[in-house]
Amino acid sequence: MSAEIDRRRAIAQSVATALAWTTLGSSAWAQSAATAARPAPAAKAPKLAGTVRIVIPANAGGGWDQTGRALGAAMVAAGAADQVEYENMGGKGGTIGLAKYAEKYSNDPNTLLMGGMVMVGAVALQKPAVDMTHIQPLARLTSDYLVAAVAANSPIKTTKDLADALRADLKAVPIAGGSAGGVDHIYAGVLARAAKASPEGLVYKPFAGGAEVVEAVLSGNAALGLSGYSEFNEAIAGGKLRAVGVSSRRSVFGVPSFREQGLDAVMANWRGVFTGKGVPAARAAEMLAAVDAATHHESWLRTLKQNRWEPSWLTGKDLAEFMELDLTTARVMVYLLKLKA
């Protein structure tokens, strides 16, 4: 009974956090991504199989795709597999891939699934028949921040310009980002609220990958794009896009944070790896050990540095509790920000 009471208290705390966030600022949610101390891995990665499959519930080129392929390369480099096959299943914030994975690979001991906060938000928004209770989490891997970018010729040059435009006519500032209900969608609502604009007027245009978001902004189909820095980096470096702000507490990627510019809009996007619900505990532990070893390998560490991802390792009971709180918070935010699928 005490465990159930603790669980209810945790959920109540999450709801209170979400409510406080809407009043006091987004920093409360950002703090929920704190990383526990990480023990050293086993001396050598366990060999899982000759071929391991990683299902990526998104189109090629996006954050999950980049993370999944980096993880696969590191698993091969660490000796956990001879080769890794990748299977992309994009659409609806990962919920299409989630459903297909649960149907096809639930008992497969050699197939992993990528996921994260985008999927949590999509589940909260869409309420699909197959949700995250149909898979078992292995590890949270990384946290990333969202960059807001405009076309180089946009009249929006500063955070003040953006806030003024959102407040003046939110519908005139369509925002492009990832799938409906995902972290980009929620953050679009966060920006609108922080600018004191009414979230009901939000025009959000969801896309399956970062490349499509860039194209939407460049073509004028959207006034603002939201994505991870790694997905905007090339267009920013080439002078096609201009970064207005980033969702971190302080400047990163050479981009000033919104908070430093007077707009309290802080949020972190996490990504993780899962396995099938029917995979035995002993095998799941082996898979976790292999992922652990891979994320200590220089191949993975090099990718973190290149993409400017922050490691945010979390496993076991701490991860399960974190995800439950994250889902509850996402549901509250979907309601408070009046987001629609």
Residues with Cβ within 8 Å of residue 304, at least 6 apart in sequence: 142, 310, 311
pLDDT at 195 over 50: yes
Which tens digit of pLDDT belongs to each residue from 299-336? Answer: 999 999 988 888 999 999 999 999 998 888 888 878 87
Cβ(16)–Cβ(32) below 8 Å: no
- Mean pLDDT to the nearest integer, 269-288: 96
DSSP letter (8 states) at residue 252: B
Cβ(274)–Cβ(264) below 8 Å: no
Separation between Cα atoms, residue 37 and residue 60, nearest integer Å: 32
Nearest to 329 by CA among 25, 32, 9: 32
Average pLDDT, the chain: 87
Cβ(31)–Cβ(64) below 8 Å: no
Per-residue pLDDT band at 251 (split at 50, 70, 90): very high
Separation between Cα atoms, residue 76 and residue 67, nearest integer Å: 14
3-state secondary structure 26-51: CHHHHHHHCCCCCCCCCCCCCCCEEE
Poorest-pLDDT segment among 161-170, 194-203, 313-322: 194-203
Q: Which amino acid is at 266?
A: V
DSSP letter (8 states) at residue 92: G
Bridge partners for 268 per DSSP:
145
pLDDT at 13 over 70: no
Angle at which helices 117-126 and 316-336 cross, to 10°: 50
Tokens matching residue 291: 């992922």
First to last CA, the chain: 37
Q: How many residues does the chain have?
A: 341
Cβ(138)–Cβ(285) below 8 Å: no
Q: Which residue has the tokens 């302080």?
A: 250
Tokens matching residue 270: 């996490």
DSSP letter (8 states) at residue 35: P
- Mean pLDDT to the nearest integer, 265-275: 92
Q: Which residue has the tokens 């920093």?
A: 27
Tokens matching residue 253: 């990627």
CB-based burial of residue 126 (10 Å sphere; 0-12 exposed, 13-18 middle, 19+ buried)? middle
Q: What global pTM score does this model have? A: 0.76
Per-residue pLDDT band at 162 (split at 50, 70, 90): very high
Q: Which domains does the chain have, with CATH numbers?
A: 2-143+269-336 (3.40.190.150), 145-261 (3.40.190.10)
Per-residue pLDDT band at 180 (split at 50, 70, 90): confident
- Mean pLDDT to the nearest integer, 196-223: 91
Separation between Cα atoms, residue 97 and residue 87, nearest integer Å: 10
Q: In Å, what is the CA distance from 3 to each residue of 9, 13, 272, 319? A: 10, 15, 26, 16
